[in-house]
Amino acid sequence: METNGKPDRTPSPHLPFGDQRSAPFYGKDILSVRQFSREDLAYIFGVAHEMREMVARVGTFDLLKGKILANLFYEPSTRTSSSFTAAMERLGGSVIPINEVKYSSVSKGESLPDTVRTLECYADVIVLRHPEVGASAEAANYARKPIINAGDGVGEHPTQALLDLFTILEELGEADGLTVTMLGDLKYGRTVHSLARLLSLYDVKLNYVSPEILRMPPEILAEVGAQDIPQTETRRLEDVLAATDVLYVTRVQKERFEDLADYEKVRGLYVITPETLAQAKERMILMHPLPRVGEISMEVDDDPRAAYFRQMEYGLYIRMALLAMVLGKA
Ligand code: NCD
């Protein structure tokens, strides 16, 4: 794992949770899935399991009592923001929510470095969502406290990819050997950028289904290809559906289009219905980072293969794990 240039911190000798000997992520930023090895992932998922058990057993517990999270969101969010809040509060910590930067000094023209340096005076960790690629890395350069990237424009969404992979492992047992099909807006969708990179640590096959103008960016194809992962691009889901173990559907990211006429051309191109799933394997899962805006019909929700609501719940355990880890408690 990279250190992201943060000073080394000596792990606490009495960790109340998980591995008592070390806290390998203590004080670290979570900026990109590129920073993780398979060993790191096994560690994170192990802690997430413990969080799941604790939530089932006691609901809320005081692992992060007295710690404060600043939730700094320059873009809209429902799941990411509220699941980080729930994660912090289930661990006994508290949250400074800055969900609408227009009510903060950002609207007075304050720069990201200054906002981040302000919040770290009050908080122990900062979760940041920002419309610009690289914003989290920039913030991390200025901050002494850990920064967690909750989405940087069309760049990455590493905590989403972690929860996506955790979902795959929990639901299907392992990632090696799977065929994962990503569908929809692969150009602007940051969740698929992070997930494709993360899955390239495993022995997977990746299919990308999208219209021409929303294809997976060439740099990601090159990065994933360099790991010898077979990749197929197509416009037709029928070409790859029958062999698919994980169908990961994304929303067309309307807010990223320069020309809304282009958006109109591609919206509604793919809609997953019960008829679609009739062509899919019996043992497969249908995922979506949500929000959905028509890509998956509600009639599909009761199909046991529809994993998107369970996926959200896995996100709570992953975010609890990450907060405990970067704050030196796991
Ligand atoms: C995603 C995002 O913000 O990138 N949402 C999320 O965090 N679950 C996906 C999206 O907005 O389409």
Residues with CB under 6 A from ligand 1: 79-80, 151, 157, 160, 190-191, 251, 253, 289-290
Nearest protein Cα to ligand 1, atom 11:
291
Q: Are 182 and 221 in contact (CB under 8 A)?
A: no
State the pLDDT at residue 2: 47
Q: How much is the average pLDDT of 92-116?
A: 88
pLDDT category at 5 given cuts 50, 70, 90 is low
For residue 177, pLDDT over 90 is answered with yes
Pick the CATH number of 33-156+315-326 from 3.40.640.10, 3.40.50.1370, 3.40.190.10, 3.20.20.70: 3.40.50.1370
Mean pLDDT of the residues in the chain:
94
At the top level of CATH, the class of 158-312 is alpha beta
**Which one-letter amino acid corresponds to residue 17?**
F
Rounded to whole angstroms, how far apart are CA atoms 314 and 150? 16
Mutate-to-test residue for ligand 1 from 157, 251, 313, highest number of ligand atoms within 8 A of CB: 157
Rounded to whole angstroms, how far apart are CA atoms 75 and 73? 5
13-55 per-position pLDDT tens digit:
445 555 444 789 999 999 999 999 999 999 999 999 999 999 9
The edge-to-edge listing of strands for the beta sheet with 179-183 is 231-234, 205-209, 179-183, 246-249, 285-287
* Ligand 1 atom closest to residue 79's alpha carbon, by position in its atom list: 8
Q: Are 140 and 112 in contact (CB under 8 A)?
A: no
Q: 290 C-alpha vs ligand 1 centroid, how far in Å?
A: 6
For residue 77, pLDDT over 60 is answered with yes
Q: How much is the average pLDDT of 260-274?
A: 96
Phi, psi for residue 24 in degrees, rounded to 5: -65, -20
279-288 per-position pLDDT tens digit:
999 999 999 9
For residue 273, pLDDT over 50 is answered with yes
Q: 104 C-alpha vs ligand 1 centroid, how far in Å?
A: 23
Within its chain, how far is the Cα of 111 from the centroid?
Answer: 25
